[in-house]
Amino acid sequence: MYKNISWVKKNEDWMDRLIVTWVVDLLMGITFIVCFITGLLKFSVLLQVTGLNEVILPAAFISDLHDWSGILLGLFVFLHLFMNRRWIVSVGRKMLGKT
């Protein structure tokens, strides 16, 4: 059916990579939101200014969630940079004038 089957295989690999990139970026965004919100909840001055300091919050759980989401965020950022390393090097060379 296909005369050039390597083209089909190449496009399937590209689609798999695109899906993995999309999932990594989505998870990176979710962990950023969790880390940011829990960071705000841990910030006592902000809670006093907004009047939320009298609200009982599970501080230990929020702290653990913040710590783990920060670790996951770091891993997803590292994975994102690793997956886009060719683009980063290409743009870096163009900006430095080494084409």
**Contact at 8 Å (CB) between 31 and 76?**
yes
Residue at token pair 């743009």: 91
Residue 74 within a domain: yes
Which pTM does this prediction carry?
Answer: 0.76
Residue 65 within a domain: yes
The total number of structural domains that make up the chain: 1
Residue 2 within a domain: no
Residue 52, domain extent = 21-96
Residue 10 within a domain: no
**Contact at 8 Å (CB) between 93 and 99?**
yes
Residue 68 within a domain: yes
Residue 41 within a domain: yes
Q: What is the pLDDT of residues 33-87, one digit of tens each?
A: 999 999 988 887 777 787 777 677 788 899 999 999 999 999 999 999 999 999 9
